[in-house]
Structure 1
Amino acid sequence: MQVITGNTQIFGILADPIHHVKTPQRINAHLVGEGFDGVMVPIHVRAEGLQAAVQGLRAMNNLAGFVVTVPHKTAMVALCDEVSADARLIGAVNVVHRTADGRLIGTMLDGEGFVAGLRQEGIEPRGRSAYLAGAGGAASAIAFALARAGVSHLTVANRTTDKVRQLFERIHSVAPAAQLVVGTEDPSGHDLVVNGTSLGLRDEDALPLDVERLLPHQVVAEIIMQPAETALLKAAKARGCRVHPGAPMLASQIPLMAAFMRHGHTHGVEHAS
């Protein structure tokens, strides 16, 4: 553990639950590697306390920024003073820079992190059909990134189909030619199957899609990091599918998150290889 002094810059991560987060370990290792005097700490905040917690963080003069994860990504948009065009379109924020005068600037890196993580493992989404479970913050970011990456068509399944339609309207505003389909629990007929929900974080969670319909040629990807092998990945493996865990999505974002929290932009930062 690095020595923490009165000069150390503080970073946070806001989540509920928080026990599963892996970002502090990764960010702290990254900061040490860069020789930067900073430390990230996990901050357990429930939805009803989010606004008050964020107000408190504004007043912390040695706080440079924070990461936002489940379930706060969507709510965070309204709590920022400024958000990137992407974050506004996606409707979610997962990393925030605090300026010296306490203003909060937010952006969303989940989508590009997810696609970079796939490509790192030799899975190219361009020209493939994709199925995505979920239309919340992270899922919306992934939907945008997959559309931009050039998937042949994208099916999104969510309990509330209204949410999916609104997401499609926003995607069409930047990718008018994207082939978008409102889906069901059935992921068959797609090359890439993605869980963009938080189902799988807890042991008692239902499966996010109908695993009985999975076939061996499909790649099944997860955004959940803990457990490393979710019930979905276990079931997909048993059906002969190639599986892609949640870890690469975070690994690809670490240098981008660190840069954004410190400077309010990611320019000049390469993706982790």
Structure 2
Amino acid sequence: MDDETTSRIISGRTRLFAVIGDPVEQVRAPSLLNALFTRLGLDAVLVPVHATPEHFPHVITGLQRTTNVDGLLITVPHKIRACEFADELGRGAALSGSANAMRRDGNGRWQAENFDGEGFVAGLRASGHPPTGKLVCLMGAGGAGRAIAAAILGAEAAHLTVYDPDQAKCDALRTRLEQYWPGRFTVLDSVGGSLDCDIAVNATPLGMRSMDPLPFAPQALGPGTLVADIVMEPKDTPLLTAASALHLPTLHGHHMLDHQLGLYQAFFDLPDIGMTS
């Protein structure tokens, strides 16, 4: 640990933030947000909270009723369900039907937003791979996948193709997005054949565990296709390792989170002292 971390004193006045997920061992938000709190001179701390799906309603409502909890971050697999516990949805959460951040306003109401898609697109652009006019294949129609799908289409991608083994998730996402971007969304029945796209994205949890299968075969992609993975840990997922071996360009998962830091700062109404990332 660095000196800034070890010198922090937690007191009865410390404001609390939590990131809720199942699992939570892989989350990077505590290291990023706690470093930000230190730079801003705030008496606040973000801690990971492990909540299984059956206990999630009790955990999130308990945290919302804890009066020194100011904000929540939501990660896999709770992003879609988190919307049920919000009093108000921001544009990103309303478009995607999922949330990855929640804050308590001055009236005690909880507002939800989703920055996954905006962060992912910002990461693409910063890495020299803007999605505008591109064909994009997205694996995963869960909470993060929904947000990324909406942001990709909002960034004027030419077409988005989505696959999820849970067909109901794909159908729900198609119904949600077709009203905003008609004719630019296709659902795949399988990923067994070749994938014709410029950008291929893994928005599933596959790759977090060493025994996980690949979400799709990089061999099915054409030369020069960008392979992006939103899994944070390990950094070099099996998918990215396999893609690199085929000399395909890759984008690591941390880019999506790194480009959300400023968005979190504004959402939680933290002071701005200049560059923070």
TM-score norm. by structure 2 comes to 0.91
Q: Name 2:19's counterpart in structure 1.
A: 13
Distance 2:75 2:274 in 1: 23
CA distances 1:29-50 after superposition (whole Å, capped 9, x unpaired): 1111222221101111111111
SS in 1 for 2:200: strand
Greater mean alpha carbon deviation, residues 79-88 or residues 45-54: 79-88
Q: Does 1:244 align with 2:237?
A: no
CA distances 1:217-236 after superposition (whole Å, capped 9, x unpaired): 10000101100011110111
Cα contact 1:113–1:253 (8 A) shared by 2: yes
Q: CA deviation at 1:262?
A: 4.3
CA distances 1:218-260 after superposition (whole Å, capped 9, x unpaired): 0000101100011110111111100000011000111212332
Greater mean alpha carbon deviation, residues 61-70 or residues 82-91: 82-91
Q: Counterparts in 2 of 1:211-230, with a 5 A limit?
A: 211-230=218-237
Q: CA deviation at 1:66?
A: 0.9
What is the one-letter code of the residue matched to 2:56? Answer: L
SS in 2 for 1:12: strand
Q: Does 1:193 align with 2:193?
A: no
SS in 2 for 1:65: strand
Q: Does 1:153 align with 2:168?
A: no
Cα contact 2:136–2:200 (8 A) shared by 1: yes
CA distances 1:74-104 after superposition (whole Å, capped 9, x unpaired): 1111122221233123111100002355432
SS in 1 for 2:133: coil
Equivalent of 2:52, from 43, 46, 56? Answer: 46
Distance 1:269 1:55 in 2: 33
CA distances 1:61-83 after superposition (whole Å, capped 9, x unpaired): 11110100001101111122221
Q: Name 1:173's counterpart in structure 2.
A: 179
**Aligned-residue RMSD, C-alpha:** 2.1
What is the one-letter code of the residue matched to 2:72? Answer: F
Distance 1:73 1:261 in 2: 18
SS in 1 for 2:118: helix
- CA distance change for structure 1 residues 158 and 271 in 2, over 3 Å: closer, same or farther? farther
Aligned length: 269
CA distances 1:94-141 after superposition (whole Å, capped 9, x unpaired): 000023554321111100010001111111110111000011110010
CA distances 1:8-42 after superposition (whole Å, capped 9, x unpaired): 21110001111111000001111112222211011
SS in 1 for 2:137: strand
Distance 2:108 2:62 in 1: 10
Q: Name 2:117's counterpart in structure 1.
A: 111
Greater mean alpha carbon deviation, residues 128-137 or residues 92-101: 92-101
Cα contact 2:197–2:221 (8 A) shared by 1: no
Q: Name 2:86's counterpart in structure 1.
A: 80
Q: Does 1:91 align with 2:97?
A: yes
SS in 2 for 1:10: strand
Whose RCO is larger (CA < 8 A, sep 6+)? Answer: 1
- CA distance change for structure 1 residues 270 and 210 in 2, over 3 Å: closer, same or farther? farther
Distance 1:37 1:139 in 2: 34
Q: Counterparts in 2 of 1:102-141, with a 5 A limit?
A: 102-141=108-147
- CA distance change for structure 1 residues 43 and 57 in 2, over 3 Å: closer, same or farther? same
Q: Counterparts in 2 of 1:28-39, with a 5 A limit?
A: 28-39=34-45
Q: Does 1:23 align with 2:29?
A: yes
What is the one-letter code of the residue matched to 2:44? Answer: G
Distance 1:187 1:229 in 2: 23
Task: Give the 4+ runs in structure 1 shifted more than 6 A.
Answer: 268-273
Distance 1:271 1:47 in 2: 37
- CA distance change for structure 1 residues 63 and 187 in 2, over 3 Å: closer, same or farther? farther
Q: Does 1:66 align with 2:64?
A: no
% identical aligned pairs:
37
Distance 2:203 2:92 in 1: 18
Cα contact 2:230–2:256 (8 A) shared by 1: yes
Distance 1:43 1:62 in 2: 16
SS in 2 for 1:78: helix
